[in-house]
Structure 1
Amino acid sequence: MRKPIYTEWRFWVIIAVIVLGIAIAAAIVQQQEQARNNPPSASPQPAAATQLPSQETAPTPSATVAPVASAANPTPPTSTPTNAVPSAGTPPTTTPPSADPGQTAPADQVPLPKSEVLAYSRQLKGAPYIRDVAVGTDNIEIHYFGSFAEFAQANPGTQLTKADYNENFSSRDAINKILMEAPVQLFRQFPGTASIDITLPYSGKTYSVSLTKGSVEKFFNTDLDGIETDEQWAEQISGPYFNKEYRDQFAQRYIQVK
């Protein structure tokens, strides 16, 4: 009598293989369903506003941005430039130097006004005997004639005499007076002057002085730019210093004789 098939071991092996195959198939079907229901998200793209910095340095924008016209503001306001050029009828804000000793030039006047320096030099003591005046950017050089004969030759129509000439230069104190007072007057009148050189030949000798504005202010113990009136000039300079005692001190310190 034959045994029933379910008692055979081969039967159970076949059953196990079938069950395993069904389980594997079910798992595959389940994974496919999940894939259809949950599609993979797209990889994120870099944001449009994010940019890598360029290796080249971008030019720095101006601190002042001009207004731009828009629909809400069709006409942009006009800004007033800080360095606006005045119209032709606008008077200058500073007063130019004058030949009047009571007026002063702007302290930042560079270069020196040659025509005004020449005009003012004609007011200095012994001015008729000045041979030439050289005006640089911030330097003034004055040279006197070497003798009355040299002066007369250059000015054939002059009415000045040799006695007039000697009256200006015949004493050492008269020469010291010129070489001391002329520079400080020029420094005051033209504040942009940095140095002054004066050469005065007389009777076989040459008297000269080479001064800076700082050395003059130190000697007179004053700030020349702060002197604005004739009263201040008399109080701080001419009153206490324009005398023989201080002329001798000035000559000993600054005047060269050759």
Structure 2
Amino acid sequence: MAKGKEFDEGMDAGVALTLADIALQIEQPERADALISHAIKLAKDSGDNDQLAWALLTKARITNDGNVLTEAEEWVASSEDEWLRSAYNNQCGIHALEAGDIPAAKASFAQSLALKEMLEDKVGQANTLYNLGEISREEGNVEQAKEFHARCVDLLEELGDRKGMVNGLAILGHLEATEDNVDGAVIHYEAALEIAESEEDFEGTVVSRWGLAEMARAMGDQDLELQHLSQVMAGFMQLGRPTPEPIKNRLNELADTIHGGI
């Protein structure tokens, strides 16, 4: 590939889009934008409407421009590429979600999920289930949120994404806690903690132990709460990172209560 904004003559739209994704990964947004524009031009020149739709979707993904999505709609509607349809619906869901149009986001994600299930796209399914779960959580529909996130965790387990599982299990723990189901919350937080520690996932460990500390507090077990929070603080200290104020404040409260102050 030539330097600057000149591209190899033999490059097709698909290659240009692949290189654009690579440019984004290595934080070269201007290069990515130029490659996407080049892909759009190539697709238009060749009359390849599927590639044109993919190029427009890629542009929409990095710019969150609804006008670009509208432009892509015509080509997606006439395409027989189900992967393209799935990606289009997913991007429409993301755009609607960021615009605050929850009903439109739910409808688009549901359509995308149905296509991803047909295509057996497990990674895509997990991502969409997560989005649907978070929408349900924001709406206060806890049971539906639990269903979506549980399905997401199952897929992440199949995919071997253990860090993703930690996040999903912690979310399930939080959802159980909102319904005052302490036992259910503890089960999920402990499962998340076990995986987080085996993966040396510090953030996951903190979230899991914080959740377990909150459940210990709900049960009135101050010693167990102190144990979890102390281990969280020790982890921050080992990494040379400041302990968050809420954790320090709660530890001081516990110290005053249990030991009469230090």
More helix by share: 2
TM-score, normalization by structure 2 = 0.23
